[in-house]
Amino acid sequence: MCGIIGYIGSRNAIPVLINGLKRLEYRGYDSAGISFLKDDKIGVRRCAGKIKELEIFIRKEKLKSNIGLGHTRWATHGKPSEENAHPHRAGGIVVVHNGIIENYIELKEGLKKKGHVFTSETDTEVICHLILSYSKKGHGLEQATKEALKLVKGAYAIGVINEAEPDKILAVKKDSPLVIGLGDGEYFIASDMPAFLKYTRDAMILENGEMATLTHKGVSVSDIYSNRPVKKKVMKITWSPAMAEKGGYKHFMLKEIYEQPRAIADTIRGRFSLEKGEVNLKEFSLKQSDLKKLKKVFLVACGTSWHAALVGKYMIEDMARVPCEVDIASEFRYRRPLIPGNCLMIVLTQSGETADTLAAQKEAKRLGARVLTICNVVGSTSSREADGVFYTHSGPEIGVASTKAFTTQLTALYILSVALAKAKGQLRAAEITALFNELLQLPEKVEKALKCDDSILKIAKKFYRVRDFLYLGRGINFPIALEGALKLKEISYIHAEGYPAGEMKHGPIALIDNDMPVLALAPDDRVLEKILSNMEEVKSRGGKLIAVATEGNTRVHAHTSHMLFMPETNYYLSPVIFSIPLHLLAYHMAVLRKCNVDQPRNLAKSVTVE
């Protein structure tokens, strides 16, 4: 998730681009850059770091131009650095890009053979070279871009300038957002509206496969597949800039909860081939033969990422039949763990900077383990120090309470488990296909799960004044009970506990009285009967039962009227779906209690001290 901006008009484009990038910084902030046309020559200025640094870097030059592109980066391919920062350039073609090009390695190899020289590690640079190669064949910018994009697989929102056609910006989108701002004789492209709200409130939203051509005279849109012109509706934006930054949501946490279908789709993108039944672990240096020899897996993390690790144990042991040990990083680093040969440590960390997780990772390496990190931040310490990385690509997570980072970690673990099970010969081809087919439906099912928001708000209104809350789960959804409780306590300050439902009789059942709300996770799985009897035990002691069940399950409904129904999926993916209502419930309870949802007291997004 990066931010792009483009401007053509009579103002000086440079401050417009810098101001727009600042408004988009929430989309990424590891490096930034601008390009502009001056005296019909392209100029590019880029640097690692935040927009502020770019601003300082260009200040002395007093640059002026009436056309330009800008980019704030959240690295996906290649570490944050000046070379990898956008805009990218090949000859007179300059491109800014938000998205992921899945087949860039093949495209890059092909272009290199034809003499193209690459200067970055990014996937984006192939787009410039492809457009350049088609313009050299005599195509104008529009046609060259269309031809180039026919070869590209993946998601993109791009802005393009050509030195040879100095009065034009092209913008094209597929599966990454792009909006056009329409001012008075000036036009904008941007990943999101806050980038140009200061100048205009009239906007058009580009749809997949649409190309916009911006000139000083206006904007025209066409369909890149049919070449037909498209008539677009102009909308008036009524959001304030602060609201627009959060996509119209009240808090970043809510926005990030709603981003999950997109985030999960990005985690999955390019990770496997359904036809070949193969998993593509691009950044992972372990070969199939190494996976085959694996004797043990350690999963280590902190907080919410540790909950993902707990789910990972259920997935890996069940699918691949490889023993797993799960540790909280701060425990692992001091407990003198026994690391056998042929063992893999999987570290889970959204930020890649959590002090205890990094120390545990170091300790595991010292003791001879190979380390793979499932991480969201490209170029973070964890990703640099690990032997391999599985990037979740969920985009920057700004709300302190982790949501989309968690469900994308679960998605990554699912893909890894299938890879491991395949290497170990534990799954037949048909089973692998079925698992991937279900995974492909996950973004849509998460979208459906989000529809329970109104019902959750009603439940939150009933319970937000309580002092305590209990969450129960079993099997692969027991860690989701822990996650639901953590989310509630960290943002609403209600005391909450997550329990494996079978443990209730061994102590916690003493807490049940008429004031105790108990949320039970009851998906249609191998332990449904067991959780139903646990629910009965709560009910008969006066506890206030809320149940989350699989769509259409009338048996669970018979136990309580506070029901939430989730779309059906397989056992391994049910934790992803069942986390959605729990994150939403914590969110609504916190808002009703007037808590600072995005920045809860005493907490930091990244815990970089022990």
The length of the chain is: 610
Residue whose C-beta lies closest to ligand F6R? 303
By CB under 6 A, tell whether 560 contacts ligand F6R. Answer: no
| Least distance (Å) between residue 598 CB and ligand F6R | 12
Span from 33-41, 44-52, 346-354, 521-529 in contact with ligand F6R (CB under 6 A) = 346-354
| Active-site residue, 136 included | no
By CB under 6 A, tell whether 607 contacts ligand F6R. Answer: yes
Judged by beta carbon, residue 68 or residue 581, the one nearer ligand F6R is 581
Hey, what are 141's tokens? 């910018």
Hey, what are 209's tokens? 């496969």
Q: What angle do CA 376, 320, 358 make, to 5 degrees?
A: 30
Rounded Cα distance between 394 and 259, Å, is 9
Rounded Cα distance between 251 and 492, Å, is 14
Judged by beta carbon, residue 304 or residue 394, the one nearer ligand F6R is 304
Q: Which of 349, 383, 408, 492 binds ligand F6R (CB under 6 A)?
A: 349
Q: Which of 170, 244, 257, 401 binds ligand F6R (CB under 6 A)?
A: 401
Hey, what are 368's tokens? 């001879």
| Least distance (Å) between residue 294 CB and ligand F6R | 24
Judged by beta carbon, residue 411 or residue 550, the one nearer ligand F6R is 411
What is the number of other CB atoms lying within 10 angstroms of the CB of residue 307? 30
Show Cβ contacts of residue 310 under 8 Å, excluding neighbours closer than 6 positions: 299, 326, 478, 479, 482
Judged by beta carbon, residue 402 or residue 574, the one nearer ligand F6R is 402
Hey, what are 582's tokens? 């729990």
φ/ψ of residue 117, rounded to 5: -110, 125
**From residue 481 to residue 510, what is the string marking binding to ligand F6R with x (rule CB under 6 A)?**
---------x--------------------
φ/ψ of residue 336, rounded to 5: 50, 60
By CB under 6 A, tell whether 586 contacts ligand F6R. Answer: no
Closest CA to 487 of 403, 405, 606, 408: 403
By CB under 6 A, tell whether 373 contacts ligand F6R. Answer: no
Hey, what are 238's tokens? 């009524």
Identity at 277, one-letter amino acid code: G
By CB under 6 A, tell whether 402 contacts ligand F6R. Answer: yes
Span from 21-29, 134-142, 301-309, 517-525 in contact with ligand F6R (CB under 6 A) = 301-309
| Active-site residue, 168 included | no
# of chain residues touching ligand F6R (CB under 6 A): 14
By CB under 6 A, tell whether 361 contacts ligand F6R. Answer: no
Rounded Cα distance between 213 and 161, Å, is 10
By CB under 6 A, tell whether 320 contacts ligand F6R. Answer: no
Biggest CA pair distance of the chain: 81
Interface with ligand F6R by CB under 6 A: which residues?
302-305, 349-351, 354, 357, 401-402, 490, 606-607
Active site residues: 2, 605
